Structure 1
Amino acid sequence: MKILFPKFDKIGMPLLSVAVSALFVLEAKRQLRKRTRPKLERLVRNGSVAAVAMPALRLLLVPGMYAAARYAEKNKLGLLSQRHTPQWLRYMAGFLLLDYSNYLWHVLLHKSSLLWRFHNVHHIDLDLDLSTAWRFHIGENVASVPYRGGAVFLLGVPAPLVLVYELLFEGCTAFHHSNMRLPYNLEQKLSNIMVTPRMHGIHHSIVGEETNSNFSIIFSWWDRLHRTFRLNIPQDDIVIGVPSYRDPKEQAPLRLLLMPFEQQRPWKLPNGTVPERHERPHQEWLLP
């Protein structure tokens, strides 16, 4: 299985690093939501979790998806690998379908009690910013390999597209997890096409109905299609995290790595109440 991808590693990753560095500066200068925990504390903790999990992405996921695409292409397997499919259509439809498959994966992470054990590590962060974008348990990253590799195989997307999509996937994940305040009018227009920081901030709310919305990764269309689209929550009203995990001491890296293997708590605050919010009309209207 091919592991080295020169253009991906020598061109794509440096460009992604530049974009991430710019986001890191911008979210510090234009803060969207007020922090509840010290920035350095979270950088160390989230960075520690990411350091364990990230190698699985580069050494398993990317090579696995690429190999699946090459095999489907070579054997003319998969939806888009048929002989008479134009190349431009394979790339365009392939990009859209890859993104749709990741919307479905994200929904599955929330609906499956087994997968949620691992995805919960991402959600119990008490703040939401750029560092949260890579705070994923290694178990979740490993579990994504057969799903995302299988999606690539069934779709029959071109192998080079897999690498391009993965770079944009990571870049957009960094963007919408960032705590960067975009001009409201600009973000209102952007959210019609792609996932933005305000839109994804709602997904990290302690209110269950809000957590189970806005699952898209790049394009926001999939949430509109499945009626999981929600914008009408003011950012100042959002409390980030999971209600039953509010103790900052539980954010220690070792504790986070062991958390999926412990009994999961019900969706309640420490006082036993379930967070709720009065439903506002017009879910598709972005509020500041």
Structure 2
Amino acid sequence: MKILFPKFDKIGMPLLGVAASVLFVLEAKRQLRRRTRPKTKRLIQNASVAVTALPALRLLLVPGMYAAARWANRHQFGLMPWLKLPTAVRYGLGFLLLDYGNYFWHMLMHRSGLLWRFHNVHHSDMDLDLSSAWRFHVGENFASVPYRGGVIALLGVPAPLVLFYEVIFEGCTAFHHSNLRLPYAVEKQLCKVMVTPRMHGIHHSIVRQETNSNYSVIFSWWDRLHQTLRLNVPQDEITIGVPAYRNPSEQKPAHLFRMPFEKPRAWVLPDGTVPEREERPSPTILLP
């Protein structure tokens, strides 16, 4: 299985590094939500989780997805070869369908008890910022290989597109996890097309119906299509995290690595109450 991708590593990864550096500075200057935990401690804890997840992403997930695309391309397998589309259309449609497939993967991680055990490590972060974009349990990256590779094979998308999409995917993931306060008027229009920090902040709420919304990764269209879009929650009313995991001492890396293998907790706060919010009208209109 091929693991070296010169353009991906020499162009794509440095571009992602620059984008992350810019977001890191901007989110410190234009903070969207007030922090609840010490920044440095969180950065160390999240980096400790990412130090295993990122190598799995680069050395297993990316090569696995590329291998699936190469196999499909060699055997003229999948939707794209069957449709016999012009090259430009094949790349454009393929990009959209890859993103659509990841919408369903994200939804599945919330609806499958087994997958949620691993995804919960990401959601149990009690603040949301750039570092949250890489706080994923290594087991989640392993689990995503057969799904994402299978979708790629069924679509039959060109192998180079897989690498290009992954760079955009990672960049957008960093962007919408950031704690960057964009001008409200700008973000209100931007979220009609793509996932933004305010939109994704709602997805990380401790209110269950808010967590189970806004599954899109790049384009917000998929949530609109499937009526899972929720934008009408003011940012200053959001509590980030998972209600049963509010103890800062459980944010230590050793516990985060063990979390998927422990008995799942009910969706309640430590005092036994269920976080709720009165439903507002117009869920597709972004509130500040």
The residue matched to 1:46 in structure 2 has which SS?
A: helix
Give distance in 1, aligned partners of 2:181 and 2:83. Answer: 47
Partner of 1:260: 260
Partner of 2:14: 14
Give distance in 1, aligned partners of 2:259 and 2:19. Answer: 32
Give distance in 2, aligned partners of 1:23 and 1:145. Answer: 28
Partner of 2:115: 115
What displacement does 1:88 show? Answer: 1.2
Partner of 2:37: 37
Partner of 2:164: 164
8 Å CA contact 1:76, 1:83 repeated in 2: no
Partner of 2:238: 238
Partner of 2:209: 209
- 1:128-182 per-position Cα deviation (integer Å, ceiling 9, x unaligned): 0000000000000000001000000000000000000000000000000000000
What displacement does 1:83 show? Answer: 7.2
Give distance in 2, aligned partners of 1:73 and 1:205. Answer: 41
Cα-Cα RMSD: 0.7
After TM superposition, the structure 1 = structure 2 runs for residues 92-111 of structure 1, keeping only pairs within 5 Å, are 92-111=92-111
- Closer/same/farther in 2, CA of residues 111 and 83 from structure 1, 3 Å limit: closer
Equivalent residues, number: 288
1:174 equivalenced with 2:181 (yes/no): no
Partner of 2:82: 82
Q: Which runs of 4+ in 1 moved over 6 A?
A: none
After TM superposition, the structure 1 = structure 2 runs for residues 124-143 of structure 1, keeping only pairs within 5 Å, are 124-143=124-143
Partner of 1:70: 70
The unaligned stretches of length 5 or more in structure 2 are none
What displacement does 1:119 show? Answer: 0.2
The unaligned stretches of length 5 or more in structure 1 are none
Give distance in 2, aligned partners of 1:85 and 1:176. Answer: 32
What displacement does 1:82 show? Answer: 2.9
Partner of 1:189: 189
Which 10-residue stretch deviates more, 46-55 or 80-89?
80-89
Partner of 2:25: 25
Partner of 2:48: 48
Give distance in 1, aligned partners of 2:17 and 2:269. Answer: 37
Q: Which amino acid aligns with 1:85?
A: L
Q: How high is the TM-score relative to the length of structure 1?
A: 0.99
The residue matched to 1:81 in structure 2 has which SS?
A: helix
1:250 equivalenced with 2:257 (yes/no): no
Give distance in 2, aligned partners of 1:154 and 1:130. Answer: 32
The residue matched to 1:279 in structure 2 has which SS?
A: coil
Partner of 2:229: 229
Partner of 2:147: 147
Identity of aligned residues (%): 72
